[in-house]
Amino acid sequence: MNAYAISLSKYVNTGLMAAFTLLAFAGAVPQGPRLRRFIEALQQLLLAAFLANANFTISRFVSGDVRRNLFLLCGMEILFLISFMALYRIVHEMADMFLFNNICMLLSIGFVIITRIAAYNLDESLSYKQNEPVKQFVMASAGLLLMLIIPFFRRFFDGMRHLGIVFGILGIAVLSGVLLLSVATNGAMITYTIAGFTFQPSEFVKILYILMLAGMLSGEVSREKGILVTILCLVHVGVLVLSRDLGSALIFFVVYLMMLFLATGRWMVLFSGLGLGAAGSVICYMLFEHVRVRVEIWQDPFSVIDTLGYQIAQSLFAISYGGLWGAGLTQGAPQNIPFVESDFIFAAIMEEMGMIFGICLILICISCFLRILALSASYSNRFFQLFTYGTAVCYIFQSFLTIGGETKFIPLTGVTLPLVSYGGSSLLSTLILFGIVEMIYILHDERTARFMERYEMERQAGLDPEIGVPEMWNGQSSYAQGAGQGMYRQENAAYPDSAGFQQETGSNGFFGAGQQGSAGSDSGWQNAYFNDPGGLDPDDDMDNFPVNGISEEGIFDDP
Amino acid sequence: MWKKRIQGPPEEAGVRIPDAADRRGIPDEWNEVHVESVRKKARRQIVFTALMFVALFAGMTVFFCRYAILRKSELFDNDYNSRDLLLEEHNRRGRILAAGGEELAYSDEDNNRYYPYDTLFCHAVGFSALGGSGIEEYMKYELLHSDIPFSSKLACDREEIRYPGNDVTTTLDLDLQSYAWEALGDLRGAVIVTEPSTGKILAMVSKPDFDPNGIEAQWEYYRTDQSGNAVLLNRATQGVYPPGSTFKIVDAVELLQEDPSAIYDFSFDCDDGIYENGEESIHCFQNEYGAYEVHHQQNLAQAFAHSCNSAFAKIVTEDLDEDRFRKTLERMYFDKPLPYDLPCAESSSQLLEDRDISVHNLMQVAIGQGTTQVSPLHMNMITMAVANGGVLMRPYMVDHVSTAEGDLLQQYNPRQAGTLMDGETAYMVRQLMRAVTEVAYDEETGMDVWGTASEFNDTQNYIAFGKTGTAEFGDDEDSHAWFTGFTVDAEDSEDGDPQLCITVLVENGGVGSDKAVPIAKQILDRWYGQ
């Protein structure tokens, strides 16, 4: 009768999670760098406490060697995640840590629930039948290492903009290869096992796909280009539908639609796309038996509970049994759900850790999403902006599909919950995507810093900022004067107030995500720059930055 | 260093949509207005994206929280949900109590289940083993959860015992149940006693019965038994039988709804006990000597009291509007799930199933023969509605749930199921049902009119209302015996508030007035202390 300890632990877990979630949203409130560092550290502490508490609870369920291994694994997880968070901060000074902390928390929740499910699958010799927790930990570590390494290759990133069509064709080739292979082997296989790790190609094609879209849409979207992109995307989606990977097909379609919407800026694109998507769904419903079956299961899983409705019915049982606070770790029966650790992880979390915890998990997902969107909004480089945006949409839509499917909100599509679900491909591809997002952020920061540095040097070189510096930097001088273009002044008058986009920057809020003050000195220009509504974007071709008259006079040009 | 950067080849920059500024020869990079407009444009779409997905997630969260919380016990009770086994490891299954507080079922420390009254409550309370039945199955969620305070749970932890589950108090009355059980004796059949003003089920007996203690050992035998005993079947709710003459209550309701004056005007001469319509004919009850009863000239109350088949065959074939009758039947839950939470059979009506019914079948409908079938519970509900002025209270068997320490968790209150007939009709049908249970003097003929349940004529502590039924089935002379009725306290007038509503069915028992009426009378007499 250790129910007492377990019920205490579930309240502690919920409390830790709620506190973490609160801090994840604290990023929306303006704060200085010191407070930021403090919040980050607090989040890391909460994460470690959660892992320790949860694993301790699970350990009461097992004994002997397994218990020892469990503590060992738990220790490694804590050590690795904490040290990794510190390392990331050190290596990439400008990295966005709120996003990174959220990623680590989601990974930890996955670790805990996968460990718990594996703890149930013990055979008599008291060893893990399957080493899922260890595998997951290894894959997560590999993914985090990738995240650490990716930013070092940032100087190659700009070039990828031109490779859009190459990525597209590559992606189609991979997906078609998988489809042909599965037809040849006479089965609907979308995963392959290589060296003990399951491998799902469509997860990795996702990265190529977003790169393709970002690259091809970053320039002017002409009619021909739009049609080309649409064809490429529809081929992707079509191949996925034929492979019966409906979840991925939906994700690919929505990512395409939203990115095209952002690239063209037309609302018509969104609404007609949604209409076409709906029509496509209806056609799929009529054409494919497996689509119809899924819709029927969704409408009433209990009428076919013997067969196809079993999984979703068990998921609903689990969610309902957990209630607000959960049954407590090891006190539920999530193992009753087939494929619980990959497709139904959210139901397992809701059962054992409760509804409040589940809602906090959703909030963390949303926090990640909003954070990435905010980064996207702060770039004026279209390639950066589109890629970041595509990643955000891809991430949140996949989360929506899986959580909605598990809770009978929408028909089940069988995709994983990114970062939480068991599965190496999903984990790696999501971490690579997030790694690229961080890389772009660092790239952006770096260019901003370089931009500032150069301005400072020009100032020190005796240039009069009133002449050489755009008007908005000091708010006095006329940039237009230097540029010799009268129209500028007029257009500027259209933005008389400073109530602009970057007004709250320095605060690092969700939609003020620009600069967090970690770069450069704290001299006056910084504030001046970021409080200005219409800053020149440092992402954009720094080296062509015009300094009036300087080139002609040869002050900086050393022949 | 910085010089190099300035001189170096231009890095690739993001390409943006050119606008008017470009055409005037200003590069994008120089054009702060342009850069800002790109951002501003994108910002609108990005904010929209954020709002859209946040709204989706909010909707989803509300949906699944509502779903999981509102359907908590329904999902828990599902046969495919094995979480009751999990709870049994920690909790001791709660007790089931009679309305008077007597323990009908309890568990020991090791969760072995005991039923102190053995067979008495076997169908109503049911059993917990093998998936369960009755209240044991219906209240599984409540019985298996323990809502005692945390401090009490701690005390249980210290003693290393299971937490006591919640107690369920039923509406069943121990005395009434045992009267019904004893009155039915060894006959096959069912008795159900309810309270018309609330819908409380006070007694529910089905025979043959079984002992829920040790049901596991007998399970295979009961399940494969081919003798027709079907002991596991709760005949009161799950058995369906032709209603026989009790269906004349429904006929009378429909007649009086269509034409209230029929209560005075109706007149029928049952000459030789045969009614003919075209080529079809129907005869009145055939007594043991093979002769048809002859009822002579009679009004509606007399026809009802005599249970005159000819008169009601005439009413249904000639006087009633078929479509209106169908609507009435639908309102009375024929061919529909009954408003009752535990498993129960659906009644079927030949009139509803056969849209193009022949005269012959219509006559069969009128006297409750043919393919019309009702369960004793359904007949009881119709009677309850008559007794309660047309309003049916939803029958229920669980009064409240409390913790093992006695704190009330949930009280189940009476609920209206619907209005089966209007108040005036109910009042007139009630008068007809009184004619069945008394010996009345008919001034016109100067003779006494003996109702088919006139045994109730001289009851002292209560006034009975009712209707008998003899439902033939199969090809030979076999028939089920029915009685359904209700009582009013003798201190009250005949229009007083109804107290008990009783329905008796004896399978293959013969004539209703011979078999079912004495059983009902014995139960009511003992209850009213005669």
| CA–CA separation, B60 and B52 (whole Å) | 12
**Residue A226, in any domain of the structure:** yes
Concatenated DSSP letters for B358-371?
A: -HHHHHHHHTT-TT
Half-sphere exposure of A220 (CA within 13 A, CB side): 6
CB contact under 8 A, A381 and B13: yes
pLDDT at B3 over 50: no
Least confident range of A269-273, B20-24, B219-223:
B20-24
Least confident range of A264-273, B127-136, B293-302:
B293-302
Least confident range of A1-5, A258-262, A282-286, B374-378:
A1-5
Helix axes A382-406, A246-264, angle to 10 degrees: 140
Whether the link from the prior residue into B208 is cis, omega within 30° of 0, is yes
Window 145-184 of B: residues touching A by CB (8 A cutoff) are 153-154, 156-157, 160-161, 163
Residues from chain A that touch B27, judged by Cβ atoms under 8 A, are 544
| CA–CA separation, B190 and B45 (whole Å) | 70
A28: pLDDT confidence band, cut at 50, 70 and 90? low
CB contact under 8 A, B36 and A558: no
A145: pLDDT confidence band, cut at 50, 70 and 90? very high
pLDDT (mean) for A21-29:
83
The CA distance from B50 to the nearest CA of chain A, in Å, is: 7
- What chain B residue is nearest to A257 in terms of C-alpha separation? B49
Write out the residue range of the structural domain in which residue A324 sits.
3-444
Give the position of tokens 């809020």. A509
Region of residue A126 (left: phi > 0; alpha: psi -120 to 50; beta: else):
left
pLDDT at B341 over 80: yes
| CA–CA separation, A453 and A450 (whole Å) | 5
> What's the first-to-final CA gap in chain A, in angstroms?
84
Residues constituting chain B: 530
Residues from chain B that touch A539, judged by Cβ atoms under 8 A, are 13-14
Give the torsion sign (CA, B15, B20, B24, B29): negative
pLDDT (mean) for A67-84:
88
pLDDT (mean) for B440-465:
78
Q: What is the CATH number of domain B80-170?
A: 3.90.1310.10
- What chain A residue is nearest to B16 in terms of C-alpha separation? A219
Closest Cβ opposite residue A543 in set B6, B43, B69 = B6
A556: pLDDT confidence band, cut at 50, 70 and 90? very low
CB contact under 8 A, B30 and A500: no
Half-sphere exposure of B144 (CA within 13 A, CB side): 22
The torsion of the CA quartet A12, A13, A15, A19, rounded to 10 degrees, works out to 140
Report how far Cα B522 is from the mean position of its chain's Cα atoms: 26
Which one of B4, B11, B154, B158 would you mutate to disrupt binding with A, by most A Cβ within 10 Å of its Cβ? B11
Closest Cβ opposite residue A320 in set B14, B49, B76 = B76
pTM: 0.73
pLDDT at B277 over 90: no
CB contact under 8 A, A333 and B14: no
pLDDT at A197: 57
CB contact under 8 A, A540 and B50: no
Half-sphere exposure of A501 (CA within 13 A, CB side): 27
Half-sphere exposure of B360 (CA within 13 A, CB side): 3
A479: pLDDT confidence band, cut at 50, 70 and 90? very low
Sequence spans of domains, chain B: 28-70, 80-170, 178-223+230-527
Question: CA geometry: angle at B226 spanning B224 and B230, to 5°?
Answer: 80
Among A440, A546, A380, A444, CA closest to B17: A380
The two tokens of residue B306 are 């005599």
Q: Which residues of A392-417 are buried (b: 16+ CB within 10 A; e: fewer)?
A: bbbbbbbbbbbbbbbbbbbbbbbbbb
Question: CA geometry: angle at A242 spanning A238 and A248, to 5°?
Answer: 65
Closest Cβ opposite residue B35 in set A316, A511, A536 = A536
pLDDT at B146 over 50: yes
Residue B375 host element (H or E)? none
| CA–CA separation, A189 and A177 (whole Å) | 12
A407: pLDDT confidence band, cut at 50, 70 and 90? very high
pLDDT at B33: 56
Helices (H), A265-381: 267-287, 289-299, 310-322, 345-378
CB contact under 8 A, A540 and B11: no
What are residue B109's phi and psi, to 5 degrees? -60, -30
Which of B226 and A435 is assigned the larger pLDDT?
A435
The CA distance from A334 to the nearest CA of chain B, in Å, is: 10
The two tokens of residue B292 are 């048809």
Give the position of tokens 């076999």. B478
Q: What is the DSSP letter of B11?
A: P
Least confident range of A120-134, A160-174, B403-417:
A120-134
The two tokens of residue B410 are 């949930």
pLDDT at A240 over 70: yes
| CA–CA separation, A546 and A538 (whole Å) | 12
**Residue A424, in any domain of the structure:** yes
* Range of A209-213, A419-423, B153-157, B459-463 with top mean pLDDT: A209-213
A475: pLDDT confidence band, cut at 50, 70 and 90? very low
Residues from chain B that touch A396, judged by Cβ atoms under 8 A, are 53
Say whether residue B37 is in contact with chain A using an 8 A CB cutoff.
no
By the 10 Å C-beta count (0-12 exposed, 13-18 middle, 19+ buried), B185 is classed as exposed
* Range of A232-236, B81-85, B159-163 with top mean pLDDT: A232-236
pLDDT averaged over every residue in chain A = 78
| CA–CA separation, A209 and A110 (whole Å) | 26
pLDDT at B294: 63
Helix axes A382-406, A424-460, angle to 10 degrees: 150
pLDDT at A549: 34
The CA distance from A44 to the nearest CA of chain B, in Å, is: 26
B62: pLDDT confidence band, cut at 50, 70 and 90? very high
Say whether residue B66 is in contact with chain A using an 8 A CB cutoff.
no
Say whether residue B49 is in contact with chain A using an 8 A CB cutoff.
yes
Give the position of tokens 């209005």. B419
B396: pLDDT confidence band, cut at 50, 70 and 90? very high
| CA–CA separation, B165 and B142 (whole Å) | 8
* Contacts of the segment A487-492: beta carbons below 8 A, 24+ positions apart: A487/B21, A487/B24, A488/B26, A488/B31, A488/B33, A491/B21, A491/B33, A492/A534, A492/B32, A492/B33
Quick check: B191 and B502 in contact, CB under 8 A?
yes
What are residue B261's phi and psi, to 5 degrees? -75, -10
pLDDT (mean) for B435-451:
75
pLDDT at A258: 94
A518: pLDDT confidence band, cut at 50, 70 and 90? very low
The torsion of the CA quartet A540, A95, A521, A459, rounded to 10 degrees, works out to -10
Report how far Cα B505 is from the mean position of its chain's Cα atoms: 17
pLDDT at B290: 57
pLDDT at A191: 60
pLDDT at B441 over 50: yes
pLDDT in tens, B248-258: 899 889 888 88
CB contact under 8 A, B36 and A500: yes
- What chain A residue is nearest to B50 in terms of C-alpha separation? A370
By the 10 Å C-beta count (0-12 exposed, 13-18 middle, 19+ buried), A262 is classed as buried
pLDDT at A488: 34
pLDDT at A15: 94
Q: Decide if domain B178-223+230-527 falls under CATH 3.40.50.150.
A: no
Other C-beta atoms lying within 10 Å of the C-beta of residue A123: 8
ipTM value = 0.83
pLDDT at A525 over 70: no
Say whether residue B324 is in contact with chain A using an 8 A CB cutoff.
no
pLDDT at A95 over 70: yes
Quick check: A352 and A334 in contact, CB under 8 A?
yes
Say whether residue B415 is in contact with chain A using an 8 A CB cutoff.
no
Other C-beta atoms lying within 10 Å of the C-beta of residue B193: 29
pLDDT at A143 over 90: yes
Which one of A380, A386, A550 would you mutate to disrupt binding with B, by most B Cβ within 10 Å of its Cβ? A380
pLDDT at A497 over 70: no
Say whether residue B130 is in contact with chain A using an 8 A CB cutoff.
no
pLDDT at A107: 95
The CA distance from A270 to the nearest CA of chain B, in Å, is: 10
pLDDT at B322: 83
Q: How many domains does chain A have?
A: 1
Give the position of tokens 């999984």. A311
Per residue, the 3-state secondary structure of B337-356, as one string, reads CCCCCCCCCCEECHHHHCCC
Greatest Cα-to-Cα distance within chain A, rounded to the nearest angstrom: 86
Residues from chain B that touch A332, judged by Cβ atoms under 8 A, are 83, 86
pLDDT at B427 over 60: yes
The CA distance from A25 to the nearest CA of chain B, in Å, is: 14
| CA–CA separation, B433 and B467 (whole Å) | 6
Least confident range of A28-42, A71-85, A452-466, A534-548:
A534-548
pLDDT at A261: 92
pLDDT at A388: 95
Quick check: B315 and B255 in contact, CB under 8 A?
yes
Per residue, the 3-state secondary structure of B411-470, as one string, reads ECCCCEEEECCCHHHHHHHHHHHHHHCCEEEECCCCEEEECCCHHHHHCCCEEEEEEEEE
Half-sphere exposure of A519 (CA within 13 A, CB side): 24
Per residue, the 3-state secondary structure of A238-269, as one string, reads HHHHHCCCHHHHHHHHHHHHHHHHHHHCCHHH
Least confident range of A342-346, B185-189, B265-269:
B265-269
Concatenated DSSP letters for A148-191?
A: HHGGGGGGGTGGGGGGHHHHHHHHHHHHHHHHHHHHHTTS----
pLDDT at B502 over 60: yes
pLDDT averaged over every residue in chain B = 82
CB contact under 8 A, B2 and A314: no
The CA distance from B334 to the nearest CA of chain A, in Å, is: 24
Say whether residue B50 is in contact with chain A using an 8 A CB cutoff.
yes
pLDDT in tens, B344-365: 888 888 888 878 788 888 888 8
Other C-beta atoms lying within 10 Å of the C-beta of residue A433: 26
- Helix and strand numbers (H, E) in chain A are 21, 2
CB contact under 8 A, A384 and B14: yes
**Residue A174, in any domain of the structure:** yes
Q: Which residues of A216-225 are buried (b: 16+ CB within 10 A; e: fewer)?
A: bbbbebeeee
Say whether residue B4 is in contact with chain A using an 8 A CB cutoff.
no
CB contact under 8 A, A556 and B71: no
Pairing, β B408-411 against β B398-402: antiparallel
CB contact under 8 A, B26 and A161: no
Among B428, B455, B421, CA closest to B299: B428
pLDDT (mean) for B415-440:
86
pLDDT at A123 over 70: no
Window 13-32 of B: residues touching A by CB (8 A cutoff) are 13-18, 21, 24, 26-32
The CA distance from B6 to the nearest CA of chain A, in Å, is: 5
